[in-house]
Amino acid sequence: MRRVFVVTALTGLLLAGAGCADRRDDPFAVGFASPAPAATSPAPAPTATGDAGVCARAKQAGSTAVQTYVFKLAEMLRAGGTGDRSRADAAERDAEAALAGWRDVLREQSGRATDPRLRTLLADLATEVGGLGTDVRAIDETEFDRLQGRLDQLCPA
């Protein structure tokens, strides 16, 4: 029963915590929801036109990785619960590979970004994603949510 709770909590953390952009079109699209605007601060300026592709690629990679990661992590927990160590190990490797792929795309897009703030943010996100792993107790959703909120400010829909 604990494993089901962990999978449910993780799914909520990664999907709801990440802020899905438009769930009508793609329930797994990570849109990096923006925080409520402060009354005293101006709206963030969109990134340079050349960064639109960087933003789109970073968000798409996140959407795909989160979907795969959650699915494989759930599979890992189910297989571990039934004692199927081989299947659990394979699912864990696949979950870690999804994160590694996302991290690599974030690093790549960071190198392509023309906006220095976006470049730095993508590098920070890559570091955060690279440290996630498959231990659900080690995920720092507060820091990750803060970084995702900044990405939404720099990459408006």
pLDDT, position 49: 44
Identity of the amino acid at 114: T
Nearest C-alpha neighbor of 10 from the set 84, 60, 67: 67
Nearest C-alpha neighbor of 74 from the set 62, 87, 86, 63: 87
Per-residue pLDDT of the chain (157 residues; tens, 9 = 90+): 434 434 444 444 444 334 434 433 443 444 433 344 444 444 445 444 468 999 999 999 988 998 999 899 999 999 999 999 999 999 999 999 999 999 999 999 999 999 999 999 999 999 988 888 877 677 677 877 787 788 888 888 7
Q: Which residues pair with 20 in a beta bridge?
A: 30
Distance (Å, rounded) from C-alpha 34 to C-alpha 90? Answer: 35
Distance (Å, rounded) from C-alpha 113 to C-alpha 116? Answer: 7
Domain span including residue 51: 2-154
Q: 10 Å Cβ neighbour count for 82?
A: 9
pLDDT, position 43: 42
The alpha carbon dihedral of 121, 122, 123, 124 has a sign of: positive
- Whether the CB-CB separation of 100 and 93 falls below 8 Å is answered with no
* pTM of the model as a whole: 0.66
Distance (Å, rounded) from C-alpha 154 to C-alpha 25? Answer: 22
How many domains, the chain?
A: 1
Distance (Å, rounded) from C-alpha 123 to C-alpha 136? Answer: 22
